[in-house]
Structure 1
Amino acid sequence: MQNTQERITAARERLGSRLTILAHHYQHDDVVRHADYLGDSLELSRKIDGLDSEFIVFCGVFFMAESAATLARPGQKIYIPDIEASCVMSEMAPAPLVETVYNRLTESGRKLIPLAYVNTSAAVKAVCGKNGGTVCTSANAPKMLKWALSQGDGVLFLPDKQLAQNTSNTLGIPEEKRHILDIRKNGQQIDLDAAAQADVVIWPGQCVIHSRFTTNAIKAVRKSMPQAKVIVHPECPPEVVELADDAGSTSKIIDFVEAAAEGDTIVIGTETNLVGRLANQYAGKKTILPLATSLCSNMGKITEDKLLCLLESIEQTEDVTVSDSIRKPAQDALERMLAASA
């Protein structure tokens, strides 16, 4: 009797070139080993246009599959092994509230450019697209914030307040030119005067995975392993990023580890699946350790068994779709990012 891995291999052989599997770096190794392409959000978004496959399976969380569906060409179908694999940060910025808040902030006539982190729904990306805005990833956030600032007289950065603050620090935008919104009571508690004075108006969301990393954890590393290098993801709190040796996207973290000298110890503040994969890859050459254990339960909803179930029934499975009213403006927002970060 075939095991799960063998059955997936058989399903892939049956589907042949009709199938492409994409996986995010935060996926478990059991899923990653079946991927045609492994990458971060930006890398995987760039892959969509060049794929000829009819079936594109996205092993990640739902907003990533939505982005792929937004960019897919006619005839291509996007699937995700578990549609319940959501993103807590994404859910902190529901599209109706984003639109309400944006309208309040611009009712005076201000040209505020909305810039959505890719960790948002297609509906939020559509709000950005139809208002001259765009999208960013952790890899290109400084470039896209700079672009957005050049397009108007301010930027609404959503939903991650940590990435917004860290990116503003990278660009040298002073703290007095930033304002974190109070979006309670359907946006009625917004301080419009404070927002009007800010170049970067910030939505108050955050990643629960990266918010777990603390300055105390870095201080403990400095004390116990003074020669170790610490790199963290820019979704971490600004004080954590400031104390680390470097910060960057998953791709930058991978490059940082690769560039480190043999014998180095690197402590990483990001999702644990990636840290473990790097530790195994460089075992015996470099010591790779997690700053703290922090697993994304939603990424973990994508399993090898669920991938198998999807592949064996893909012709009868409903694909991820985006309505026409959302697709076009969301596509505009995504394509502005891809063009600016080419």
Structure 2
Amino acid sequence: MSILDALKKPGLPERYKNLTEEEMVKRVVAIKAEMGERLYLPAHHYQKDEVVQFADDTGDSLQLAQLAARNKKAETIIFCGVHFMAETADILTETQQTVILPDMRAGCSMADMANILQTERAWSKLQMLFSDTILPLTYVNSTAAIKAFVGKYGGATVTSSNAMAMVDWGFTQKERILFLPDQHLGRNTAYELGVPLEAMAVWDPITDTLEYEGDYNEIKVILWKGHCSVHEKFTEENIDKVRREFPDMNVIVHPECSFEVVEQSDFSGSTKMIIETIEQAQPGSKWAIGTEMNLVNRIIQQHPDKTIVSLNPNMCPCLTMNRIDLPHLLWALEEALVGQKTNQIKVESDTAFYAIQALNRMLARA
């Protein structure tokens, strides 16, 4: 079933909109207790607190998918994240396990910036330009179809934690890398590995053109023109303001931020790295964090011994992540309790076959 097909299905029943928070919490607790080990409920770090409070595990997208795959006892996995994360969980789990996304509107704008038709069209044109010298790599923040495309052509997935290792591996396989769908993570990673900006081009999937001035023979990395709508909103001006007002404050950002923001920060790294850095920081230290607001607020609450702010105080939480709320979670649980597979995420077998190859090539180097 495609995302468009899923969105045509009825949404949250009206009755859930009239329940109090206390009623919903009580019911969620009761269903979790009744289903026991038959249920597994992972939640991404960016989820709302009203959802995270019931999570069996919290983590990043790949980590949660792997934990779901190891949980052989769970018959139903209610994945509190976004569509591509639930797809990855379905690919990695057993056939008899059911993966549910509480709200099918929970997507990812970055993942949507690279669809399979655009990618196949780009690949055909890039092959004409560069012949068989390109290896495709995709951020795990991509659709199952894009993961399958990458797997089919010998490439692998990457995470923000292992992007450097995977891009480095990619250069042992081919002369050039096509990095999907986040240009910022690709650029920041390649630059850190020593690839100059002058050797990076950008593929625009809207105009089907390669953005580059110079000799194409010099190109080492082709960056897909996609981005995270949240992390791209952190700016150099945000950093300048923090430096002026708090000269002793550390700036730490996610590598989905722009090149300029990452270069001007004190630290950059994955969600896991950001969390661990703050955990290990000295009491009294000061931090401006450039990542999703739900997570930043949670970190602030967990570390009252430190001064922590959002790098951009006017940021909103990730809108698509926030689609999943307590009413949708309760709906998913009540449906699962009576054996209904409402909002099931199921990746077609052909797509899963190649996608698992891309994932396994990465996991073999973890």
TM superposition score normalised by structure 1 = 0.95
From the superposition, tell whether residues 196 and 307 of structure 1 become closer, same or farther in structure 2 (CA, over 3 Å): farther
Amino acid at match of 1:139: S
Once residues 141 and 252 of structure 1 are traced to their aligned partners in structure 2, the CA distance between those partners, rounded to angstroms, is: 13
> Moved runs in structure 1, 4+ residues, more than 2 A?
182-185, 187-197
Indicate the SS of the match to 2:79. Answer: strand
Q: 1:150: which partner in 2?
A: 172
- Structure 1: runs of 5+ lacking an equivalent: none
Q: Which residue of 2 aligns with 1:268?
A: 289
**Structure 2: gaps of 5 or more residues:** 1-19
Pair 193,239 (structure 1): closer, same or farther in 2 beyond 3 Å? closer
Q: Shift in Å at residue 191 of structure 1?
A: 6.7
Inter-partner Cα distance in structure 2 for 1:90 and 1:281: 30
The answer on 1:30 being equivalent to 2:55 is: no
CA distance in 2 between counterparts of 1:176 and 1:210 reads 24
- What is the CA distance between 1:124 and its match in structure 2? 0.6
Match runs of 1:1-342 below 5 Å: 3-52=23-72, 53-107=74-128, 109-185=131-207, 187=208, 195-283=216-304, 285-292=305-312, 293-314=315-336, 315-318=339-342, 319-341=344-366
Instruction: Compare 80-89 and 41-50 and name the one that shifted more.
Output: 41-50
Q: Relative to 1, partners in 2 of residues 1:204 and 1:194: Cα closer, same or farther, differing over 3 Å?
A: farther
Distance apart, 1:175 and its partner CA: 1.4
Give the counterpart letter for 1:237 in structure 2: S
Deviation at 1:197, TM superposition (A): 3.1
Residues 118 and 272 of structure 1: is their aligned pair in 2 closer, same or farther, counting only changes over 3 Å?
A: same
| Rounded Cα–Cα distance in structure 2 between residues aligned with 1:193 and 1:101 | 20
1:21–1:196 CA distance, 2 compared to 1 (3 A) = farther
The one-letter amino acid paired with 2:319 is: S
Taking the aligned partners of 2:114 and 2:202, their CA distance within structure 1 comes to 14
How far apart, in 2, do the equivalents of 1:147 and 1:133 lie? 10
Q: Is the 8 A contact 2:201 2:210 kept in 1?
A: no
Q: CA deviation at 1:190?
A: 6.8
State the distance in 2 between where 1:278 and 1:37 align. Answer: 16
Contact 1:105 1:195 in 2 (8 A): no
Counterpart CA distance in 2 for 1:278 and 1:239 is 25
RMSD: 1.7
Alpha-carbon distance change, 195 to 316 in structure 1, aligned in 2, over 3 angstroms: farther
Question: Equivalents in 1 of 2:308, 2:211: separation in Å?
Answer: 43
Find the aligned partners of 1:191 and 1:171 in 2 and give their Cα distance. Answer: 20
Larger displacement relative to structure 2 (194-203 or 33-42): 194-203
1:83-129 CA-partner distances (Å, limit 9, x unpaired)? 11111111110111101111221245323111011111100111000
| Counterparts of 2:187 and 2:210, CA distance in 1 | 21
CA distance, structure 2, for counterparts of residue 30 and residue 184 of structure 1: 38
Cα offset for 1:248?
0.7
What is the rounded CA distance, in whole Å, between the counterparts of 1:213 and 1:294 in structure 2? 11
Structure 2 CA distance for partners of 1:301 and 1:196, relative to 1, 3 Å: farther
TM-aligned CA distance change 1:189 to 1:161, over 3 Å = closer
Contact 1:213 1:269 in 2 (8 A): yes
Greater displacement, 78-87 / 105-114: 105-114
Structure-1 separation of matches of 2:348 and 2:217 = 34
Q: Tell me if the contact between 1:114 and 1:131 (Cα under 8 Å) persists in the aligned partners.
A: yes
> Does the 8 Å CA contact 2:201/2:211 hold for their aligned counterparts?
no
8 Å Cα contact 2:40-2:68 kept in structure 1: no
- Measured after TM superposition, the shift of residue 40 of structure 1 is 1.0
The 3-state SS of whatever aligns with 2:297 is helix
* Aligned amino acid, residue 125 of structure 1: K
Contact 1:126 / 1:326 at 8 angstroms: preserved in 2? yes
Matched AA of 1:33 = Q
Counterparts of 1:226 and 1:244 in 2: how far apart (Å)?
A: 13
Q: Sort the Cα spacing of 1:125 and 1:196 in 2 relative to 1 into closer, same or farther, 3 A.
A: farther
Task: Check conservation: 2:287, 2:308, Cα contact below 8 A.
Answer: yes
In structure 2, the residue corresponding to 1:181 is in which secondary structure?
strand
Question: Scaled by the length of structure 2, what TM-score is found?
Answer: 0.89
8 Å contact from structure 2 (residues 40, 56) kept in 1: yes
